[in-house]
Structure 1
Amino acid sequence: MALVLHVVNLLLTSKLVYTNVPEPYMDEIFHVPQAQQYCGGDYLTWDPKLTTPPGLYVTSNIIAYVARLFQFDLCTVNALRFTNILFSIGLYFVLVSLISTVSCKPKSIKLNLYALTLCWFPVGFFYNFVYYTDPGSTFFVMFCYLLVKKKRYFSSGIIGLISLIFRQTNVIWVCLFMMIVIIDTLTIDPKKNDDKSSLYNPVCSSINQPTQVVQIISSLLVNTVKHITTVLPNIFTFILTIISFAAFLVWNGGIVLGDRSNHVAGFHFPQLFYYTSFLSFFAAPWTLSISILTSMLTIKRYEHPFLLSDNRHYSFYVWKKIYKRHWTVRYLLTPVYVISSFVNIHVFARYTSFLVSLGYLFALILTLVPSPLLEFRYFIIPFLFYMVHIPPPTTISRTLVALTLYFSIHVLTIYLFLYKPFTWPSEPNQLQRFMW
């Protein structure tokens, strides 16, 4: 039933989008022509405005090549967009299996609906209907993690490499997954009664002494060296992926392809505060009942030039209507950040080991902090990684509340995207549309 709902929602929404927005929009004006260049057999021409690798275009080109054997043209705008519909269907299967594996629960209606709800996470779900790299990037990162949890380490490293040709910053998640492979390799399997390792890695919520942190980290380092001959075969393809990425950095002279002027890395630590508030809202149907403690944070304001110059993104209105309201707002919101952080950490710590939690924190910092631009789609993979570690609730009511909330937001955002366009004085003949 959940899969049917997912496919029906995808098809009905895509029909609306394809009918009302038949021409490339926003970043599609770069992505679509590049994919069509590939369809025409030109693999050497590259638009310098593109900043991510060609994984999406290669995927669409493979599909189009097969379709041409049956006399179908799948290189039109809408046909190219449909590539992401396929990724979204694939993501559903990945999430069902991943949630079942991580939570050690059999597949059921409750679990399937939980996976469906995560598939309908509004920010990620929106990009299934435009020709952006996010759906493919998300699919391959989560698929990579699924294979890690299934202990298919060789294949996981290969999928991790594929994820990098959709978005090069996915290397951060590949490194996290490699660490999880090492942890899993060193962890005793109670069924085998194997005492090959004394890795100390308790659930994060059980940590109550600073000395435990030192013990955990030293345990990981010592046991990795001690059992290096066991660890290396399991992380071989991950090492190859990271070496390949390093070679790319040397060849490219940096991480960003094409236009680097608007993608300069910095230290934007407030991104973590924005993310934790964002996470608290979308995870609220499952985490709202957790008791809250507070502490203090330091917030420094930073504005990327794009943030207040592009009123097509919802982040523009969040910043203008909230953060720009008064200079004190960024400080008055401190309790929100504190409460959000405590809730999110408290819930995650209940179900996740210390080392995985620490790895997730580093992945968040490396993913979000260097980016000076507040853009909600950067939160998609961090959100999904967090949520697959929260077991589906025993009652279905919370999931149904979340599903209803997500679907309502989806309907509203699609409505605004399709039926509430506007124009800029500088481009009076070009419709602008709201999007995440």
Structure 2
Amino acid sequence: MLLGKIRVSQVCFMLTLALFFATSLIIFNQIYLTSKMVVDEEFHFPLGISYCNFNFLVWDPKVTTLPGLYLVSALLMGPLKLCTPYWMRFVSLLFSLFNVILFHKLFRKNERNEWRNILSSITLALLPPLYFFSNFYYTDVVSLTMILLMMVANEKKRHYSASTFGLLAVICRQTNIVWVGLVAVRYVLAELFTFTKLKQHERGIPAKDVYTFLRRLVKRPLRVLENSNVQFWLDTLAYSVTLGLFVLFLKINGSIVVGDKTAHQATIHIPQLFYFSIFCLIFAWPHFVGEILNFIAFAKTHKLLISIATIVCLVIVFTNTLVHPYMLADNRHYIFYVWNRFYGKFVLFKYAMIPVYIFAWYVIIKSIYSRHDISFVTFYLICVSAVLASQKLIEIRYFFIPYILFRLRIKTNTNSVFNIVLEFVTYVVINCITLNLFFTKIITWSRYEDPQRLIW
């Protein structure tokens, strides 16, 4: 009977994948007929096509990322001689389909019910901004695939593969080094924890054992390492090679950005964390609504903490709200309208949002926290801060990986199926609206002959 259920669920998943691909292909073709090039594709297409034709000696100084996307295009489409803008975009569509499979594998860690797993996987693949960019030749979808492959390999304790996929992720987008660091540090600490003999079978660091673990590690590091094995050192070396190669790249390049360095300089922009919390609140709203009363109760019990958090947020918003020139100049992105009609138009709006930020972060932290493993929430917060708070430009695409890591950690049960359904319906509705705007709204730019379109 159990075997029958497994087979039925597997067939259902395959049918879901087929439906996802068939529907996406129809949308993909309609998008291509509507617009042959959007925004940054004018930089990506020439390089992708050149690499696809195995010409690796060309480069555009306006491109900020390493050539991972173009190398993948060369590998997939080069041998088939499919080196046209259509097939370059098709690379993203293929990887978006592959991402559904990877979501399915990763959800299994927290989701034992196969049917909820399938629903959650297809829903996350439909995340509106991510799904939208699966139709264009951008780095986001391929970059995400490499991160997911790294995480799957890490879960299966295949650390050589995990470090290799981590390196590929960095070649797609340099900031992915932060997520490689997250996986590497958590692996090393988890292994060191087992070497302390505190708990033999834990795959994380329980909150109640953190102090004892750190004390033993600091006071008697050699004794802890005496319990290590050769495999630990080989696995650690694999991650270290990837991290070391990135440090070498930084030394040679002089910056994390490859090209257009003047427009993409690292800076301190803490409000990015606030904007990310709103992104999470909007796209995971069914999982947030049920926490409203809990947050109110928490705020009443911890008045001092909430007061301090509010004051800190007020100071940050007042002193550190930055506006990148690109955001004010490019009316082809939704963030242009959000900023100009709300944040930039009403002086008090950015302050009025502070209670929302605090609530959103309360739910995010509560969702990813586990007393059985304190390492994830700790290093997740550090990594998210490193990735986002160093960017001046508010770009929705920067939120993809942090959001997906957060969403993968949300535990579901029978009562929360309704939340997943609501999430699915929300994504479908938003995708329909944004696609309709893309097809119907024309934006005229004097420097382009073809009409421009509204994108995320």
Per the normalisation by structure 1, the TM-score is 0.89
The answer for the alignment partner of 1:15 in structure 2 is 29
- Give the structure 1 partner of residue 110 of structure 2: 103
Q: Which residue of 1 aligns with 2:455?
A: 435
Amino acid at match of 1:401: L
Matching residue of 2:248: 247
- Structure 2 distance, partners of 1:363, 1:31, is 28
- The 8 Å contact of residues 322 and 329 in structure 1, kept in 2 or not, is answered as yes
Residues 185-200 of structure 1 correspond to what in structure 2 (within 5 A)?
185-186=191-192, 188=194
In structure 1, what is the Cα distance between the partners aligned to 2:341 and 2:219?
A: 51
**Where in structure 2 are the equivalents of 1:166-315 lying within 5 Å?**
166-186=172-192, 188=194, 201-202=205-206, 214-215=211-212, 217-218=214-215, 226-227=224-225, 229-230=228-229, 231-290=232-291, 291-292=294-295, 293-294=298-299, 295=306, 296=310, 297-298=313-314, 299-300=317-318, 301-315=321-335
Find 2:393's aligned residue among 373, 379, 384: 373
Cα distance in 1 for residues equivalent to 2:422 and 2:216: 42
Instruction: Kindly indicate whether the alpha-carbon contact (under 8 Å) linking 1:51 and 1:260 is maintained by their aligned counterparts in 2.
Output: yes
Task: Verify the 8 A CA contact 1:153 1:181 in the aligned structure 2.
Answer: no
List runs of 5+ in structure 2 lacking aligned partners.
1-14, 300-305
Q: Indicate the SS of the match to 1:307.
A: helix
The structure-2 alpha-carbon separation of the partners of 1:125 and 1:219, relative to structure 1 and needing over 3 Å to count, comes to farther
- 8 A contact 1:60–1:80 mirrored in 2: yes
Which residue is equivalent to 2:406? 386
TM-superposed deviation, 1:233: 2.1
Q: Which residue of 2 aligns with 1:71?
A: none
Aligned-residue sequence identity (percent) comes to 30
Cα RMSD between the aligned structures?
2.4
Whichever residue aligns with residue 164 of structure 1, its letter is V
Among 42, 51, 58, the residue aligned to 1:38: 51
So what's the TM-score if we normalise by structure 2?
0.86
| Structure 2 residue matching 1:423: 3-state secondary structure | coil
What does the per-residue CA deviation read over 1:305-362, in whole Å, with 9 as the maximum and x for residues that have no partner? 1111111111111111111122222211111111111122122225772211110001
1:242–1:339 Cα change, 3 Å: same
Post-superposition CA distance 1:401-432 (Å, at most 9, x none):
111100111111111112211213x3473412
Where does residue 97 of structure 2 map in the other structure? 89
Q: What residue in structure 2 maps to residue 417 of structure 1?
A: 438
The 8 Å contact of residues 178 and 235 in structure 1, kept in 2 or not, is answered as yes
Cα distance between partner residues in 2 of 1:111 and 1:346 = 21
How far the C-alpha of 1:7 sits from its partner, in A, is 1.3
Shift of 1:213: 6.1
Give structure 1 stretches of 5+ with no counterpart: 69-73
Query: Who is 1:132 aligned against?
Result: 138
Q: Is the 8 A contact 1:186 1:223 kept in 2?
A: no
Measured after TM superposition, the shift of residue 216 of structure 1 is 5.7
Q: Which amino acid aligns with 1:53?
A: L
Distance verdict in 2 for CA 1:199–1:381, change over 3 Å:
closer
Residues 200, 434 of structure 1: alpha-carbon distance in 2 compared, 3 angstrom cutoff: closer
On the 8 A contact 1:423/1:432 being kept in 2, the answer is yes
CA distance 1:199–1:177, change in 2 (3 Å): closer
Offset of 1:288 from its aligned partner?
1.8
1:234-291 Cα shifts (integer Å, max 9, x gaps): 2221101011111111121211111101101100000001111211221122232011
What is residue 79 of structure 2 aligned with on the other side? 66
Stretch moving more, 405-414 or 289-298? 289-298
Shift of residue 220, structure 1, vs aligned partner? 6.2
Please name the residue that 1:6 is paired with: 20
Distance in 1 (alpha carbons) for counterparts of 2:248 and 2:413? 44
Q: Provide closer, same or farther for how the CA distance between residues 114 and 223 of structure 1 changes in structure 2, counting only shifts above 3 A.
A: farther
Structure 1 contact 154–237 (Cα < 8 Å) conserved? yes
| Residue 337 (str. 1) matches residue 357 (str. 2) | yes
Question: Which of 383, 395, 400 is residue 363 of structure 1 equivalent to?
Answer: 383
How many residue pairs were aligned?
A: 417
Instruction: Check whether the contact 2:204–2:375 (CA below 8 A) recurs between aligned residues.
Output: no
Give the aligned residue type for 1:48.
P
Give, as a single letter, the amino acid of the residue that structure 2 aligns with 1:264: Q
* CA distance, structure 2, for counterparts of residue 83 and residue 214 of structure 1: 48
The 3 A distance-change label for structure 1 pair 58 and 216 is: same
Change (3 A) 1:411 1:178: same
User: In the alignment, residue 288 of structure 1 is paired with which amino acid?
Assistant: V
CA–CA separation in structure 2 for the residues paired with 1:43 and 1:200 = 43
More deviation, 279-288/253-262: 279-288
